[in-house]
Amino acid sequence: MALLALCLDACQAHAQPGADQRLFDLYYAFEVTAYCSLVDERVTRGFAARAGELRRRSSLDDDALSNLRGKAWQAAHAEWQNRGPGGFRGWCRTDGIAAARRFAGPGRAP
């Protein structure tokens, strides 16, 4: 039941339009890169630049932003757990590498 509530909360946060939705997606993608051990200096810089830009356009206050970040982390964690032992490798090869490349910049593989 708790997992269902977590998923519903994540879906509600995920359904927010505009900059808030993009912030959720951004934090989720960064968590995926972390779970997949793909975070390096370029990924971190790219993430920070995008997050700063979206935060400036967002209407979220500090508490709401913290809540959104927590929900993005929870959604990434739930997805990682859902993959089972070793099953997350495919997730990392697809979603993880794609996110890391978006953060690191064009033509820069992690």
29-58 tens-digit pLDDT: 999 999 999 999 999 999 999 999 999 888
The answer to whether residue 24 scores a pLDDT higher than 60 is yes
The chain-wide mean pLDDT, for the chain, equals 83
Contact 35, 92 (CB under 8 A): yes
Residue 110: pLDDT band (50, 70, 90) is low
Question: φ and ψ at 64, to 5 degrees?
Answer: -65, -40
Q: What is the pTM of this model?
A: 0.77
Reference 15, options 70, 68, 80; nearest CA is: 68
Give the CA angle between residues 97, 77, 75 to the nearest 5°.
90
Tell me how long the chain is.
Answer: 110
HSE-up of 57 (CA within 13 Å, CB side)? 12
Query: What is d(CA 73, CA 60) in angstroms, rounded to the nearest whole number?
Result: 17
